[in-house]
Every structure is written in structure tokens, then in C-alpha cells.
Structure 1
Amino acid sequence: MTKVKTSAQDVIMARRRFLGAMAAAVAAGSGLYPRGAFAQDQAWAMRPDADVDQINFVVWQFGNIYDDIAAKFEADWGIPVEKIIEPNIDPQIAKLTSMYAAGEDIDVLVSPLQTMASYIDQGIAAPLDGLPGLEEYAADMTPLARSIATRDDQIWGLPYLSIAWNFIYNSELLEKAGFADTPFTTWEELTEQCLKAKADGVSNHPLLWVAGAAFDPLPGTWFAQVANRGGRIFAPDMTPELGPGSVAREALQYFQDSFLKHEIADPDSLNLKFLPAVKVFNTGNHIYLGALHNYYMNVVNDPAQSPIAGKGRIHPMPGDGKTLAVTWYYMLSEATRDREWAWKMLQYLGGKTQDGVYTQALALAKSSMLAPGYTSVLNSPELREMWSERVDVDAMLNIFDKAVPYPEVVPAVNEPWYPQWNEMLNVELTACLRGQITPDEACDNMIANIDKAKA
């Protein structure tokens, strides 16, 4: 079978069609992604003209979702699906890049934020502009999902999931500490409540952080604090905002003080990534857990997984609640065997199935409380009813409303040198929180490490 690649001319023509549609929309006063600008009605239900022997996707394991969606695709369209599923993110990245280097067919892939820019710059991923029905999806995407998916006026993926950083508290322990249902509203109040709880013997370490060294856990907890205080790690031109007097240093000083000066933070936090931290929190020995992703409320309040089920409450970051958030995406490959069929598969993973339902997004939201990247799904009564069993839905949605996209706080995440710098960042943060260096020294080292990461 002849392999069909997306040429540079295809991309240029797609871009021209996209820009032309945008210009028409602006002239009509209908906004950036109007309904019907260049879409075909019910594009997700239309069969492509060409035929293919099979279609594939390269993903990491998440329950049985890929078996289920592949079976539905095969039943709906009669096209076999090759499922290339790795156990987690790192081997999936390795598998994907090795397949691309070897010239193998890749139709659809999943990407966390840290690899999106690299896939785009290397040509592994292809833009979606010009594909039928895209503007329908773009119009329905949440502002968070649409902003991160857009680069150079092109859409590069359909949402896999959206996550926002927040706190969780144990309502029973908070009441024992004398604060009933009045959790902190400022960083200072967080410290005061934890100090009182510690002094009264309610909890030896009332505060548990997600602070295990890895790409997102420890850096994300710090980044969320910086974002909440109105700061950034980098300016848009990649100048670090880590110097003396910076918001980043202020947040890091608070972070360190919780361990060393006030001794309210559990030292074991430095060994805990997301799920392990939740499991420790579920033992019922801590009042607060932060900062972590919203969907872990599904674990905290699940009677089958948590001894404190029913006592966990989601809580926003202090002050105005500004926080960090991100969306991950399913992307179309530049190495696809057929662009139209690959688009069909991409929609099954990140959009609508033949029946016009957001099948995958709904399944993930129901089973795991993973926030969908589409407004219509996020606001559906069906989802609200199910989520209400585990979380205050209005409180969680309000956290998303106050969220700042990850790339606005850490724009360097899209730079090729960022993964190396992130590894160095984890070393500096850990040393600082252990008291081996000061926050000022840590930030000075982070600045110096930028050139090292680029080398």
C-alpha cells in the first residue's frame, strides 16, 4: 500500500484555508473559531473517500480505554486498529520517536505538555487546520484547552484531559483543629492553622506536599505557588524571573519555611509524587495536601480506596484562587498513512465518535474525574451528577476558572533545553527544601543552569 504523507504544500494550503476562514469570521464579527466557517456538518460521521488496511495510535496505558475505543472504531468503520500501548509516558515517548526515526507509519499519538513543542518542531506532529469539523471542536474547547493547543494560529491537537493544581483538606481533622469548615484563605493563614493543629496535638505534620522529584510533581507544586502569587518562572522571551526580590524566591522561601522554620510540613513529602502522596493523605494523619491535580478527589473520596472517604474536600489556592493548569492532547502524526483516516481515529480518541458523542472524554471524566477539554462535556448535567458524589463540583469548576495555562507561567516548557533544565531544577529544589542551600542560592543556581542545559 502506498504511504501518503502530508507535504509542506499541504500544510501551507491548510494554513491558507484556515486564515481565510478566520478573516471571514472576523469580518462577520463572529470571533476566532466560528461555527460553520469551513466545516462540514457532522464531519465525525462522514466516511473518508480513501481506503486503508489499518490505522494505528501510539499511547501509554490507562486502564482499558484504548481497547474499548479501538473496538468501537473497528465496529463503526470496519478498519482494523493497531494499538501501540506502552506502560507509561517515558517508554511511550521512546517508542514514538524511534518509530518516527525508522520511517514507520504513525497515525495518532498522545502527548503531555512537555513533548508537544518538540513533536511540532521535529515534524512528528502535524497541524489540524483544514480538516472537516475542526472549527466545531475549537469552538467547544475550554479556553484553557484551546490556548495550549494553538501555536502560530494553528490547532495542533484535540484534548485528552485537563488538570488544575489545588489543595485538598480533611474536614474531620480541620474541625478537630478548631476551624470547623473554614480552611485557609491566605498563605499566612495556612501556616497559622497548621501551627495551631500541631501545638494542639491534632497532627504532628498537618501539611503534606506533593514534593517528589520528577518532571511535574515537585516543580509543579512550586510553580503553582508562584502562579498563585502572580509570578512567573520565565518571561515570554525566556528571560528567567528568578532574581532577587522575585515572586519565585518569595514562594520558595515559604515552601522551605514550611519544612524547616515552622516544621508543619511532613518531611516525607520530598519522597512523594502524586498518587503516593494521596495514599499517605488517605491515612488521615494530615489536614492539608497540596498542590496536586483535581482528579485525585476521585481517590480521596472513594470508599474502596480511602479510609477517609467522604471527609476529603477540594480547596482552591489562597487569595483570588489563581492556579496552574494544563491540557494534554492527542495529536495527528506527520507520518500518517492517510490523513483523513488518521483524523477519524484522532476524533475517536479526542473528539466525537460516529454517533456524535464525546465517547472517550465522557468515559474518562466518569471513571477517573479527568476534566474534559470541552465546555459542553464539562458542563453536562450527567457529569455533574456523577462528580457530585466525590467533589463539590462548583468549587472544582471555579478552580479551573481561575487557572493560568502552564506555558504562561513557564513558557520555557516549550524549549528543547527545558527537560534538561527541569532535571537540574529538581536537584536545586530538593536541596533547598532539605535546608542544604537557601532559596536565594537555589534560584541563583537555576539561573546559571539555563546555559548548562542549552549546552
Structure 2
Amino acid sequence: MASRRAVLRGGLALSALAAAGGRAVAKPATPISFIGWQFQPQIVEENVAIFSKLYDENVSYELVSGDYHPIVETKLIGGQKIDMMYAEEDRVARWHAAGWTRDLEGLPDVATIKEGIFPVCLDSLSLPDGRFAAMPYYAGHLAFVFNEETLATQKIDVPTSFAALLDACRKLKKDGVSDAPFNGAWGQKWPELSWTLFGAWYSEGARVFDAEGTFVDEPALRTVLETFRTLYAEGLVAPDIMTQPNEGVPAFCSGRHTFQFMHDYNQKVANDPALSKIAGKVSNALMPGATQSTFAWTAVYLMGANVDAGRVWNMLRFFGGKSSDGQYHVIKRWALEFGLGSAYREIMTDPEVVASFEQWRNLDVSSAQLEKATARKIAKTIWFPEWDLYMMQQTQDYIRGTGETDALVGLLSAKAAELKAQYQ
């Protein structure tokens, strides 16, 4: 994790560059520097080539292997100039506060773009003061999936509460149907245990943090923590659940498990006959819990500070929206080939996208889940990523049996207060 002093100090001041759009007259000698994480980099390179040809542009694309966000923060602290970069919602405010990125207000067609985005996604794309700061890469939510054939055979109803989920897992194990009925992403990487816990917390009605950014200890939060600990203690999950690769999706696709909390787009993998032994048997339901909400997020493209805003805005719009020819070149491809949801209503109602998604998930359930979904507003604080990593480390130890619930909740509350004070 980058030092908080460096984040607070930030980089160079934001320059007041013109925001002219349009096609370049000739290919510039200086390339746009673009940095991204390790998801389908060969397709990203293809998209870069399409953009470069369409706009007569020059782009230098750099792939980051490993833990993306800390590596990028290290590069930015070291002074590397990055014109456009991927990020998750918990870095939008942090990187802007450091002076490494700029907001997008005042650039051409921003008002129209915002009108076409789902409100829950717009939360992720904005700074704490409401300024539009990022273009959407994809939009997702934590989904509850299950093997419908197993439940039908065993005459088990889809659980709608955490107590019912535990009872169903106990029955499946006792009857010898599955040695580890539940599975999930419980590792320490940013899209794993944190996203899983926040989805479960929101589904039970826990606030986690209040409007002032103070950690909230309440029964709903404890119910989720104790449920996860019970799943582990009673052997209702695999012993290696905290180290399973690829968010536990390959393990679920093996057919060993019956239930899983997973990123909604991974349902496409679970129902792909080439990748899953239980293809065609996996369905989705509303999250179990008192409110049946979930955590919804939008990954983003950010514009660096002190850049040629006109050129980089063209590229942000090509990757995170419509290009100059009126097509969603990148976003629609992600949806059709990989099942990635979009922040744009136009994409999510596109007949071709709808027909594709209907083959591998219940869209009515997904739509109802998104209506109930909660954006993680605490991620707009610049100290949250540090708390989040600490939370995952402490919660993993707790799940394994270290300490009591009171002790864990006390640690999480104290860490939040400590970081808030240090960043003031």
C-alpha cells in the first residue's frame, strides 16, 4: 500500500487544459499512456488498435501484472505520467485527492453521458462532492447462485436468510450430497473477501459505515461475520477457500458445491459447457438476508492530471462509452463475450445483449437485485483502501477461529477511527 503521506501530498497540480474533442489531424508523435490490469490484455490491445486507427492516434499500452492498485500507486508516487488508467471505485476519490487524476466536468457531452447511466453506477463514477470523475469500464454486483438440480433433487428451498443458508448447507453435508456445500471468494485481493462481505452485509441490512464515515457496530453486521465463521468451523466450505484461485469460480464449476456468492458476470462461466461441469444447472436468486440488497460496483477509466484532455477524452469515450462513429465498440464486446454488465441503460436493454445474457442467468432476478443494490459510498474516502485491506486480514483470522466477535468489531472500529484521524 502506498504511504498515506504520498497520497496526501499528491503529484503535480491539475493543469487547465482545453477540452476540445474531435478527430486528430495527424497521428501525434507523443503517445497517450494507458495502463491496465490483467483481464484479456490481448483484446485490450485490439481495442487500442481500433481506437488508434479510428482517431489517427498514438497509444502506449502497459499491462500491470500482480496486485494492480498498489503497483499503480507506486508508479504514480514515483512520478510516472499516466494519461488513462483502470481503477476500482475505491480509488476514484483517493487518486483525485493525490492530484494524480482529474475530474471530467466540462468536457464535451458529459451531461448527456451521465443521463444515460444508472444512478447506482453514477455513485461509483463521482467524487464525494458529486463531480463526474470517471468513465465506466463495466458494472457488476455480488450475486447469489445455486445448483438448481441439487436443490430440486434434495427438495430444498432456495435460502432467503443466512439461517436458512446454514441449515441447507448442514443438510447437504449430513446427507452426503456435498462435503463443502458453500463456496465463495474469501481471499485477500480487493475483489474477493471485501466484495463478498459488503454484499452480505448490505443484504442483511448492515450499514457498515454511517454518513460521517464512522464504523457502525450493529446486529446485522455481526450476523454476517458469525455466519461466515460458522460455515468455516462446521466444514461447510472447503478448507482452502481463502486461497482458491480466480475467486473460487473454477471450484464451483467442478460441481462440488451447491451455493456461492460470486460476481454476477461469472454466471456465464458457470453455465458454459466448455468450462463448467454443471453448465445449465446454475441459477441466480436474490441474496439471502433481511433486506436482500447487495453490493453493486462500477469499475472505471480515469483521466490523469496534466494531460492533453482533448486526446485523452476521445480515448475515455471510446473505451468507456460511444466512439465518434456512435458505436459502443468496447463495452458491447465485453458484454457479449464475457457477460460484463454495463452502467449504460442503452447497453443493458440492447436486444443482442439481452438475448445473450438470458442464456446464462435469470435477467428478471438480476434486475430485481440491482433495484435493491447498494453502492459503497464509504469508498469515496481516501483512507478506505487501507481499512479494507486491514479488514480482510483481520476477518480471515477471525473466520479461522482467532478471537471473538466483540474483539474483531472493536479492531475494525478502532482502525477506521485511526485512519480518519491520520488523513485529516
Contact 1:158-1:331 within 8 A present in 2 as well: yes
Aligned mates of 1:194, 1:354 — CA distance in 2:
52
* Aligned partner letter, 1:148: S
Alignment counterpart, residue 135 of structure 2, candidates 126, 150, 158? 158
Alignment counterpart, residue 271 of structure 1, candidates 230, 239, 243? 243
Q: Post-superposition shift, 1:354?
A: 2.1
Q: Which has the larger radius of gyration?
A: 1
Q: Post-superposition shift, 1:270?
A: 2.7
Moved over 4 A (4+): 5-11, 48-51, 451-455
Matches within 5 A, 1:149-188: 149-151=125-127, 152-179=129-156, 182-188=157-163
Contact 1:58-1:96 within 8 A present in 2 as well: no
Identity %: 25
Contact 2:14-2:306 within 8 A present in 1 as well: no
* Aligned partner letter, 2:50: K
SS state of the match for residue 169, structure 1?
strand
CA-atom RMSD in angstroms: 2.5
Matches within 5 A, 1:94-109: 94-95=71-72, 98=75, 101-102=78-79, 104=81, 106-109=82-85
Residue 13 (structure 2) pairs with residue 47 (structure 1): no
SS state of the match for residue 311, structure 2?
helix
Matches within 5 A, 1:405-416: 405-407=375-377, 411=378, 413-416=379-382
Contact 1:69-1:348 within 8 A present in 2 as well: no
Q: Deviations over 1:221-255 (max 9, x none)?
A: 2222211121122112121102xx44212221222
> Where does residue 325 of structure 1 map in the other structure?
296
Aligned mates of 2:219, 2:75 — CA distance in 1:
41
Q: Post-superposition shift, 1:278?
A: 1.2
* Aligned partner letter, 1:167: F
Aligned mates of 2:403, 2:139 — CA distance in 1:
35
**For structure 1, which runs of at least 5 residues remain unmatched after alignment?**
15-42
Structure 2 CA distance for partners of 1:266 and 1:118, relative to 1, 3 Å: same
Q: Post-superposition shift, 1:219?
A: 2.4
**For structure 2, which runs of at least 5 residues remain unmatched after alignment?**
1-11
Aligned mates of 1:161, 1:431 — CA distance in 2:
32
Structure 2 CA distance for partners of 1:136 and 1:434, relative to 1, 3 Å: same
Q: Post-superposition shift, 1:121?
A: 0.3
Matches within 5 A, 1:107-256: 107-151=83-127, 152-179=129-156, 182-242=157-217, 245-256=218-229
SS state of the match for residue 114, structure 1?
helix
Alignment counterpart, residue 404 of structure 2, candidates 414, 438, 441? 438
SS state of the match for residue 53, structure 2?
helix
Aligned mates of 2:185, 2:76 — CA distance in 1:
34
Structure 2 CA distance for partners of 1:303 and 1:241, relative to 1, 3 Å: same
Aligned mates of 1:93, 1:210 — CA distance in 2:
20
Structure 2 CA distance for partners of 1:295 and 1:195, relative to 1, 3 Å: same
Alignment counterpart, residue 315 of structure 1, candidates 267, 271, 285? 285
Structure 2 CA distance for partners of 1:72 and 1:314, relative to 1, 3 Å: same
Aligned mates of 1:107, 1:266 — CA distance in 2:
43
SS state of the match for residue 159, structure 1?
strand
> Where does residue 300 of structure 1 map in the other structure?
270
> Where does residue 8 of structure 2 map in the other structure?
none
> Where does residue 391 of structure 2 map in the other structure?
425
Q: Post-superposition shift, 1:192?
A: 2.2
SS state of the match for residue 183, structure 2?
strand
SS state of the match for residue 326, structure 1?
strand
* Aligned partner letter, 1:76: L
TM-score normalised per structure 2 = 0.88
Contact 2:204-2:292 within 8 A present in 1 as well: no
Aligned mates of 1:153, 1:414 — CA distance in 2:
10
Aligned mates of 1:95, 1:432 — CA distance in 2:
30
Aligned mates of 2:80, 2:275 — CA distance in 1:
44
Aligned mates of 1:7, 1:190 — CA distance in 2:
50
Structure 2 CA distance for partners of 1:50 and 1:135, relative to 1, 3 Å: farther
Aligned mates of 1:49, 1:126 — CA distance in 2:
25
SS state of the match for residue 389, structure 1?
coil
How many aligned positions are there?
Answer: 406
Q: Deviations over 1:160-205 (max 9, x none)?
A: 01110111111222223223xx411222222222222222221222
Residue 230 (structure 2) pairs with residue 257 (structure 1): yes
> Where does residue 79 of structure 1 map in the other structure?
57
* Aligned partner letter, 2:275: Q
> Where does residue 347 of structure 1 map in the other structure?
317
Q: Deviations over 1:376-408 (max 9, x none)?
A: 00111100111122222222222222210022x
Aligned mates of 1:79, 1:85 — CA distance in 2:
19
> Where does residue 378 of structure 1 map in the other structure?
348
Residue 419 (structure 2) pairs with residue 449 (structure 1): no
Q: Deviations over 1:43-71 (max 9, x none)?
A: 97x33689733323122232123212211
Aligned mates of 1:8, 1:335 — CA distance in 2:
5
Aligned mates of 1:207, 1:250 — CA distance in 2:
17
SS state of the match for residue 325, structure 2?
coil
Contact 1:176-1:202 within 8 A present in 2 as well: no
